[in-house]
Amino acid sequence: GLSPGGEASRRKAYLPEEKQFLVTTNVPCAERAAALEGSVDATGDDDDEWVVSKATSTAAATSEEATAIGDIVAADDDLAALEDDTVAADAATAQTKILKTRTYDLSITYDKYWQTPRMWFYGYAEDSSPLTQPQVFEDIILDYARRTVTFELHPHLATLHASIHPCKHPAAMKRIIDQMRAPPRPDQALFLFLKFIQSVVPTINYDFTLDVLTD
């Protein structure tokens, strides 16, 4: 959502005080960018169940039969206890297998010099520790990493963030617009900008909108 401006000393006078930049946090990033090629969806659940049914008889049981029934009941009790232990063990295993992923805080500022939005990324490892610069580059398409993506001080937060330099934004946006079937409305500009950014960081899952229709 809209941020009131981060550090007060870094607020921009040309922007409303309560609308300095856009920010969203804890955006998941489950895969590295290189994994897009040849990735295999290995998701799925194998819930194999088996049920032990108990048969009862209305006939009078002999002492031997009673002993046998007692053995069966004891065996069923042992089986029930084993099932309880198995369920508890499965629950513990499932807890350890909860998917832990990298996450990113994403923000969009207005670059006055280039007169365009600018995207910033701050990543966290699975244990919530900040990602190193080489780790962040793992989540950026190789063609863009170290070319248009740099690490700079965030203009509002005074911490190092990865950022896609805006110098190529106008040309890239124009190419997208030229390929569209119909001219976009002014209120769709940010939508198209996010589509463009997604091509640079395709595994940071912030975009759940429909694809842009092009010719």
Give the residue numbers annotated as catalytic, written as ranges: 167
Amino acid at 96: T
| Residue 203, phi then psi, degrees to nearest 5 | -95, 0
Give the angle subtended at the CA of 180 by the CAs of 174 and 186, to the nearest 5°. Answer: 65
Q: How many of the other CB atoms lie within 10 Å of CB of 16? A: 11
Record the tokens describing residue 22, joined without a space: 């856009």
How many residues are present in the chain?
215
Cα–Cα separations (whole angstroms), residue 153 to 156, 160, 195: 8, 4, 24
Residue 11's identity, in one-letter code, is R
Instruction: Evaluate whether 10 touches 155 at the Cβ level (below 8 Å).
Output: yes
Strand 21-29 versus strand 2-3 pairing type: antiparallel
Distances (CA, A) of 179 to 26, 116, 136, 138: 33, 20, 31, 30
The label of the residue with tokens 């959502």 reads 1
- Integer Cα distance of 206 and 39 in angstroms: 20
Cα–chain center distance at 181: 31
